[in-house]
Amino acid sequence: MLIKSTSYLVFFNGIIRILGFLTTALLFRIYSIEEIGEYFLLISILSIFSAIVFMGADKPLIKNNLKKYYKKENQILKSRIMISLICFPIFIFITFELINYLSIFSLILLSFTLFLNSFGFDYLLLSKKKILELSIIQLISQIGIFTFFLFCFFYNSKPSIILHQLLSTTLLTLIIIFYIKKTFNFKFIPIFKSKTISMNYFKTNSIIIISILFVTFISSIDFIIAKKIFNNYEFGIMASLIKYSLLSYGFLIIINKTLFSYSISSNHSNEFIESSKKVSLIYNMVSSIILLILIYPYLRIIMNLDDVNFIILPAILITLCSVLMPNFFLKINYIESNDRKFSCLSYLIYTVLFIIFYYLIGVGLFMYFKFENIFLYFSLLFLSKWITLNIVITIIKNKSKSWKY
């Protein structure tokens, strides 16, 4: 059953990735590189707010549903909805300050995705082992997005680029809601009638919340730093390369959540944890090799660049980071399984080291020396960040067996 579910995920994810590449190629032909760079910056900010709204609740939601703790499940969902409403104005204010070309109305529409993300009903399909159904729903959503921008391309139409995110989130959420209402007779009224979660939830799941926020932060911060270093055209190229290197990350999350749902409902949880490690490592090694092979076609065909000689080496260095990411994320999962006191202290130390290394040393050196080849410099900075993160988290993991409190 597990092998079949994982096979569905890999197969359908492959098709979704191909459609994603084709959609990205259309975006580069409808919008300028500058516009796409700004859009990726916007999405990186949105992902940080989405992590706040999610409250690291995917695994707790799966666990509560499997154990039929529906009251707790509804409390988590209502709390996510409430947090999304609080994040609305904050997200609009921050993005309006950073990205000038978007109107308030466009930002309100985009912030609506925070509200939709707060439902996150994919956990329900995962807990019910509806892996094939979830994969098909994700594929239908991707087909819808591709079809929309294909029409835009052929009819020479240029809608707001935020429709890409708005459509993807809205389509996926609405199709999942339609499916769970029809299949499970899911009702929304108990969610809104329930109380919000207590502070005990945050104490119990503090390390999961910190982990999600931390991972989202280090995956998104590069866009914000690059925005300060490059001009708009250069930033568009670099943002596209960073986004390319993170392609396998989203699928890694889905695999881990799927294996987690099986481990909760099985008497052999340790076997599933080991399976999670093996599947994640194999997938990411294979996907990293594929990303390295496809880097030239991505630059030349997808991004539609006439000259790629100036960017090919930086692109390879950035893509190499996709090899380092699996090791990092698997060790993050290890820290999640440790006691809360150790984990929180570890993340505190980890965050401080990251900020000191990446901000002060990396960006400081660039500002002081004014390097000529800024693409190469930033790609080396990006690669060194992931090397450093892997070294530090390995030290933290090893120390966890010997540190005493």
Q: How many residues does the chain have?
A: 405
The residues, any chain, with a CB within 8 Å of residue 193's CB and separated by 6 or more, are none
Pair 144, 167: CB distance under 8 Å: yes
CB atoms closer than 10 angstroms to residue 215: 17
Pair 95, 45: CB distance under 8 Å: yes
Tokens in use for 149?
């921008």
The residues, any chain, with a CB within 8 Å of residue 38's CB and separated by 6 or more, are 99, 101, 232, 236
Pair 288, 246: CB distance under 8 Å: no
Tokens in use for 168?
């993807």
Instruction: State whether residue 135 is helix, strand or coil.
Output: helix
The crossing angle, in degrees rounded to 10, of helices 247-264 and 2-30 is 160
Q: What is the reported pTM? A: 0.82
Q: Give the per-residue pLDDT at 135.
A: 83
Which residue from 378, 351, 348 is spatially nearest to 362, judged by alpha carbons?
A: 378
The C-alpha atoms of residue 262 and residue 259 are separated, in whole angstroms, by 5
For the residues of 258-326, what is the DSSP string, one character each?
HHHHHHHTSS-HHHHHHHHHHHHHHHHHHHHHHHHHTHHHIIIIIS--S--TTTHHHHHHHHHHHHHHH
Q: Torsion-angle region of residue 194: left (phi > 0), alpha (psi -120 to 50) or beta?
A: beta
Three-state SS annotation for 66-115: HCCCHHHHHHHHHHHHHHHHHHHHHHHHHHHHHCCCCCHHHHHHHHHHHH
Q: Helix, strand, coil shares of the chain as percentages rounded to 5?
A: 85, 0, 15
Q: What residue ranges do the domains of the chain occupy?
A: 2-399
The residues, any chain, with a CB within 8 Å of residue 100's CB and separated by 6 or more, are none
Q: Torsion angle of alpha carbons 159, 162, 166, 167, nearest 10°? A: 40
The C-alpha atoms of residue 87 and residue 82 are separated, in whole angstroms, by 9
Which residue from 173, 170, 227 is spatially nearest to 39, judged by alpha carbons?
A: 227
């978007």: which residue's tokens?
Answer: 102
Q: Give the per-residue pLDDT at 405.
A: 39
Angle made by CA atoms 17, 127, 347, in degrees to the nearest 5? 75
The C-alpha atoms of residue 153 and residue 161 are separated, in whole angstroms, by 13
Give, for all 405 residues of the chain, the pLDDT tens digit: 556 666 767 777 778 888 888 999 999 999 999 999 888 888 888 888 887 877 666 666 666 666 666 677 777 777 777 887 888 888 888 887 777 667 777 778 777 777 777 777 777 777 777 777 888 888 898 999 999 999 999 999 888 888 888 888 888 888 888 888 888 777 776 777 777 666 666 666 666 777 777 777 777 888 888 887 888 899 999 999 988 887 766 666 666 666 665 555 555 555 555 666 666 667 667 777 888 888 999 999 998 888 888 899 999 998 888 777 767 776 676 665 555 555 566 666 666 676 666 666 766 666 666 667 788 888 888 888 888 878 877 777 676 654 443
The residues, any chain, with a CB within 8 Å of residue 314's CB and separated by 6 or more, are 238, 241, 375, 376, 378, 379
As a whole number of angstroms, the longest Cα–Cα distance in the chain is: 65
CB atoms closer than 10 angstroms to residue 315: 24
The C-alpha atoms of residue 223 and residue 5 are separated, in whole angstroms, by 34
